[in-house]
Amino acid sequence: MISIIIPTHNRADLLAETLTSLLAQTWPDWEAIVVDDASTDDTVAVVQRFAQGESRLRLQVNDRSMGAPVCRNIGTQLARGDYLIYLDSDDCLAPTCLEHRHHEMEANPDLDFGIFLCAFFEQVPGDYAMLWNSQKAMPDLDRWLGWDSPWQTACPIWRRRAIESIGPWNEDLPSLQDFDFHIRALLSNLNYRWFDRIDCFWRMPQHATIGSKTFSPTHLHSHDRLFASIADRLRQQGLWNRDRQILMASLYFMLMDAWLLQGNPEAATELWQKAQVRDLLPESIYRQGQGYIQGMGWMNAAPLNHPMIRRAWRAALRRYWRWQVTWPISQTLGRIRCDQVNAAIDLRPSSPMPYAPKPILHQIALASLASQQHRN
């Protein structure tokens, strides 16, 4: 059995589309555990309507909001499957997703987890021909450290023993829980491989909130502690080297500059110096960062204190002054065009079907599969 764990909070309309994609699965042996994080909208009612006559769908309701990591841990504890997938409540799976993932894991019993490809979408899967990311020659651990997340949360299918090796999702992190969880997975000496199949779809956010949340003071302090703990574990496992020190320096440059952007050069200086004391920064990069902090003083005055101007300056530092680090920026995350996205989609309804009965969805999925096979 495959257990799909879905944390959700106030996403009743989008959750309906996610559950619809589950009911359309061609693989029957699954269960979905929706963990509602004290929603105040119609989320519970939506799940209950989907669950009528559908024993594979279970609902767990928190009495207070505790965050996605707590919900994922609750779902993990309740899961009965041999395999687990963590699915966000606004994303979708292709109807053959579970069938193909189960087949690959059964055919490769040595794997602890497998990675499948993810495509972006805006309203309907297939309407945006871009991949989340793809496999590269660079080690996946270094890609995570370089802010080039190779995969999205729904991309892996985990064998239960792998989750037990990694440990629970970190409930103390206000953000970057995926970053932490997947780096811990890669540091747990687990066996995994990539599969060249697009079978899940990540909904592009309608409103950008990362700047106001992920780089707030509370989150910045949390990121500092997280990055330092990752560096400690790399050292303990004999995996710390010059290249990873530079990757870590880029992460700390990002935090330092976020403090400067908030008009807090004192916090930026304290963070940068603390990173130097922890030996997270090469000496040359530390000096460059100190000069950057000083040079940003005159830019804090309007109208120069603007994100676009600051980004242009960081780009100039990297290109013309050959600074070793600025913000870590992926060149491929969300930028890989894939003209095969439509061909990978087995079910792409022309209109929302949030409460369509299972038999109808199954017929649509089969008809779409037959149509795709005919085209191929």
Amino acid at 24: A
Q: Where are the beta strands (DSSP E) in 37-147?
A: 57-61, 83-86, 92-93, 113-121, 130-131
In whole angstroms, what is the distance from residue 188 CA to residue 160 CA?
A: 14
Asked whether residue 330 is domain-assigned, the answer is no
Which helix (H) or strand (E) segment holds residue 33: the answer is strand 30-36
* Per-residue pLDDT reduced to its tens digit, 154-164: 999 999 999 99
Structural domain ending residue among the three candidates 319, 349, 367 = 319
Claim to verify: residue 15 and residue 113 sit in the same structural domain = yes
With a pLDDT cut of 90, the percent of the chain lying above it is: 65
Shared domain for 7 and 51, answered yes or no, is yes
State the chain's mean pLDDT as an integer: 85
pLDDT higher at 364 or 204: 204
Confidence of residue 63 (pLDDT cuts 50, 70, 90): very high
pLDDT value of position 334: 65
Whats the size of the chain, residue-wise?
A: 376
Q: Are residues 359 and 230 in the same domain?
A: no
Do 219 and 353 lie in one domain? The reply is no
pLDDT of residue 107: 98
CA distance linking residue 82 with residue 114, whole number of Å:
14
325 is a domain residue: no
Query: What is the tens place of the pLDDT at every residue in 120-129?
Result: 998 888 888 7
H or E element that contains 250: helix 242-261
List beta partners, residue 85: 4
Of 300, 292, 243, nearest to 272 (Cα)? 292
Between these two residues, 208 and 284, which has the higher pLDDT value?
Answer: 284
Q: Do 314 and 186 lie in a common domain?
A: no
Closest CA to 5 of 78, 91, 90, 86: 86
CA angle, corner 252, sides to 251 and 255, nearest 5?
Answer: 95
pLDDT tens digits, 309-363: 777 777 776 666 566 677 776 767 666 776 655 555 543 333 333 323 333 333 3
Cα 87–chain centre separation: 10
* 82 in the same domain as 50: yes
For 218, the domain range is 211-319
Average pLDDT rounded to a whole number, residues 91-104: 96
Q: In whole angstroms, give the CA distance from residue 136 to residue 313.
A: 29
Contact 82, 1 (CB under 8 A): yes
Q: What is the spatial distance between Cα 270 and Cα 274, in angstroms, rounded to a whole number?
A: 6
pTM, rounded to two decimals? 0.85
Residue 326 falls within a domain, yes or no? Answer: no
